Amino acid sequence: MLPSSDVRQFAFDVASNERVGDGIFRMVMHAPGLAPILSPGQFVNVAVPGDPSHITRIPLSFAGTDPKAQTIEIVYAVVGEGTARLSRMGEGDASTVLGPCGKGWRLDDVSGPALLVAGGVGAPPVLAAARGLLARGIPFDVVLGAQTAGKLWGVGLAKSLGAGRVVVTTDDGTAGIKGFTTVAVEQMQGERDYADVLTCGPQPMMAGVARLALADGSSCQVSMERMMTCGFGACNTCNVAMAAGGYKACCTDGPVFDAREVAW
Amino acid sequence: MVSEPSMAVDLGGIKMRNPINTASGTFGYGWQFEGFFDVSCLGAITTKGCSAEPWDGNPAPRMAEVTSGIMNSVGLQNPGIRAFVEQDGEYLSGLRERGCQVICQVAGHSIDEYVRAVELYGELAPFASGLELNISCPNVSQGGAAMGATPKAAAEVMRAVRGRTNLPVVVKMAPHDVPEIARALEAEGADALSLINTIPAMAINVHTRRSRLSRPTAGLSGPAVHPIAVRMVWEAHRVVSIPICGIGGVTSGEDAAELILAGATSVSVGTANLVDPTSAPRILGELEDWVREQGATDVNELIGAVEC
């Protein structure tokens, strides 16, 4: 069989783009053709117009899609010049987006109950997984961690998606448990047996969550983040080191990996 | 009716239907782009560099965006020529049959490794229209300079591989000492030159005081390097008679036209492929428009036609 790629280029226009937290924005993009074919945990690579001196696209995960309205819901943090430019796009502004990129959550492998653990803007792909689990009737709990209360996003959505429990942690204690998500994970593991743990967030956080999950006998899927250029396997810039040696490509082999595969 | 200009060019024995090629490392092995456009519309593609044995490449992070460009330190990660042919050979044979030339890039750390790689391509890759000898990757040197850093070293590699293949050999050159190295390569039987490779550069995170990449330095590409590429192609064209594939920050037909006027026979699209995967066919269309606008009946009339 000939090798092939599913990634295509689509036109999009902005349906809405609003601030939903301290440096956190939510964009709904109208991307006919792309929205219905995205799976939870995949990502899209967005060309943000307005500054020809910054040429790269911005790879972004999504919290959900509406196949009927042909829209994709993206929640992102403004962390640099590119995401600042993205936050200034207004309703009706148009550009292009590449997708569907990468391999998403393997939800068919999840037997449940599942524990979903997100740090910062790891929340959107984790809540995309929650939608998938809801559709499959698999019970799950959610841990949402942030630096501070103002940067927290997704608590209401997690509840509305039918999470058994939603536990919040903040580094500074301004909401929920003071500390990292791992503190909450350890507590919750003592109270319920989780068959599966799915996590997305900063790499040190995921390493900690993966360690706890594997020690507890759970399966663990992790969604990795890397500096990424093309998003479809052409440039080899987004490598993830593997426990068995060598690298895999975050954009085509991931971004979701089995935690045991990754060299933490 | 206005007749269509002829766009066919001959890159040292690689007969291309038009001058547009792709820069190695920015186009995967070709098939990654078939979902964006019909790759066979291009004159040629140059596949990601492969070595005789697999290479892991460098640790992450391998990419940093800088003003008008990107820096990369991939370090020629590749599965080795055998696995490359197994995985991509059938697609590339088909691409060749569809009329697009396939240039396979050769990577090595030593003269022996280049020779072995050239021989392996000869044995295993009948789809190859030519080989591009990468003697100038800035990201694989192990304490020393790249293999092609001096005219003498570049000549030694070329001399060693010349007798080992009948395929056209294009040599990918570093962005320094261009006239001297170009002359040395021509004297050793190179069929064509391709330039420029990425420019060694450095980007520092001032908050952490660390390099923004996993190595101290990395290769700069993109629009930032384009005028440097134009100058270097012009310098090479003045001193050699073998054809040149111009590479460096091409994002439009005008950029490609500049390289052709400076002396390039073909032009590779590189970083632009990663930003807009439909760049190469768009640039081809814009280049054709320019040839027509110049009143030329054949793009070859415009090679090196800059009036300084």
Which of A52, A71, A101 is the last residue before a domain boundary?
A101
- Report the number of distinct structural domains present in chain A: 2
What is the average pLDDT across A100-108?
A: 98
Is A211 found in the same domain as A116?
yes
Q: Verify cis geometry, omega within 30 degrees of 0, for the bond prior to B19.
A: no
Is A111 found in the same domain as A94?
no
What is the average pLDDT across A73-96?
A: 97
The pLDDT of residue B227: 98
Is A177 found in the same domain as A215?
yes
Is A117 found in the same domain as A178?
yes
Tens of pLDDT, residue by residue over A189-208, are 999 999 999 999 999 999 99
| Residue A76 lies in domain | 8-101
Q: Which of A2, A236, A245 sits opposite B57 (nearest CB)?
A: A236
Flag if B57 and A247 touch (Cβ within 8 Å): yes
The pLDDT of residue B147: 82
Tens of pLDDT, residue by residue over A153-189, are 999 999 999 999 999 999 999 999 999 999 999 999 9
Q: Is there a contact between A201 and A154 (Cβ–Cβ < 8 Å)?
A: no
Asked whether residue A3 is assigned to any structural domain, the reply reads no
Asked whether residue A264 is assigned to any structural domain, the reply reads no
Asked whether residue A185 is assigned to any structural domain, the reply reads yes
CA distance B221 to chain A (A): 11
Distance (Å, rounded) from C-alpha B236 to C-alpha B23? 18
CA distance A222 to chain B (A): 17
Q: Is there a contact between A7 and A232 (Cβ–Cβ < 8 Å)?
A: yes
Which of A72, A101, A130 is the last residue before a domain boundary?
A101
Domain boundaries, chain B: 9-58+76-201+222-302
**Three-class DSSP category at A31:** coil
Is A184 found in the same domain as A95?
no
Is A125 found in the same domain as A244?
yes
Which H or E run includes B180? Answer: helix B178-187
Is A143 found in the same domain as A96?
no
The pLDDT of residue B295: 97
Backbone angles phi, psi at A233, to 5 degrees: 90, 20
Tens of pLDDT, residue by residue over A118-130, are 999 999 999 999 9
Set of chain A residues whose Cβ sits within 8 Å of the Cβ of B35:
4-8
Fold for the domain defined by B9-58+76-201+222-302: TIM Barrel (3.20.20)
List the alpha helices (DSSP H) in B77-177: 81-97, 111-124, 151-162
Asked whether residue A1 is assigned to any structural domain, the reply reads no
Both structure tokens of A164: 């058994």
Which ranges of chain B have pLDDT less than 70? 1-2, 141-145
pTM: 0.96
Is A235 found in the same domain as A115?
yes
Q: Is B152 annotated as a binding residue?
A: no
Q: What is the CATH number of the domain that holds A25?
A: 2.40.30.10
Q: Is B297 annotated as a binding residue?
A: no
Q: Which of A7, A53, A237 sits opposite B62 (nearest CB)?
A: A237
Q: Is B273 exposed, middle or buried (0-12, 13-18, 19+ CB in 10 A)?
A: buried
Interface test with B, best of A237, A247, A264 (most B CBs within 10 A): A237
Is A254 found in the same domain as A146?
yes
Beta bridge partners of A45: A59, A98
Q: Is there a contact between A153 and A21 (Cβ–Cβ < 8 Å)?
A: yes
Which of A101, A132, A164 is the last residue before a domain boundary?
A101
The pLDDT of residue B1: 52
Is A125 found in the same domain as A215?
yes
Q: B137 catalytic, yes or no? A: yes
Nearest CA in chain B to A241: B59
pLDDT, chain A, mean: 97
Q: Which of B65, B72, B77 sits opposite A54 (nearest CB)?
A: B65
Is A245 found in the same domain as A229?
yes
ipTM of the complex: 0.94
Of chain A, the end-to-end C-alpha distance in Å amounts to 34
Q: Is B38 exposed, middle or buried (0-12, 13-18, 19+ CB in 10 A)?
A: exposed
Flag if A235 and B26 touch (Cβ within 8 Å): yes
